[in-house]
Amino acid sequence: MGANDVSPDKIGVNLFWRLAPQVDLNLGAMTLLSRTLNQGKSGAEHTSGRTLLDVSMNYDTGRFGKLTLGVENLLNKQYILTTSEASNSNDDWMAGRGRVFSLSHNINF
């Protein structure tokens, strides 16, 4: 089996802070570990590791719902997707997403 068949090992950490009764902050880090498969054989595959940080802040308005502001890939790290690194073709290389901002509003009724 190759790198496209088995996901790399990963380590995830989340830190949560309640800044006020209505406000909380979440900082998450996810690390994909590097690895080499089939080393010394004709089908050797190497994937590099990376760590991405995400942050989100929630504000609970009470009656009017919850507002969430989020940032994925906080440090805007450039990386190549694991499936692209393991490909034998240079035509299949795809970059991962850069920094992404999001704003959401959630109302429970």
Q: How confident is the model at residue 57 (pLDDT cuts 50, 70, 90)?
A: very high
Rounded to an integer, the average pLDDT of 31-41 is 81
| Cα 18 versus chain centre, distance | 23
Beta pairing, strands 50-60 & 45-47: unpaired
Give this prediction's pTM. Answer: 0.81
Token pair for residue 15?
Answer: 């830190």
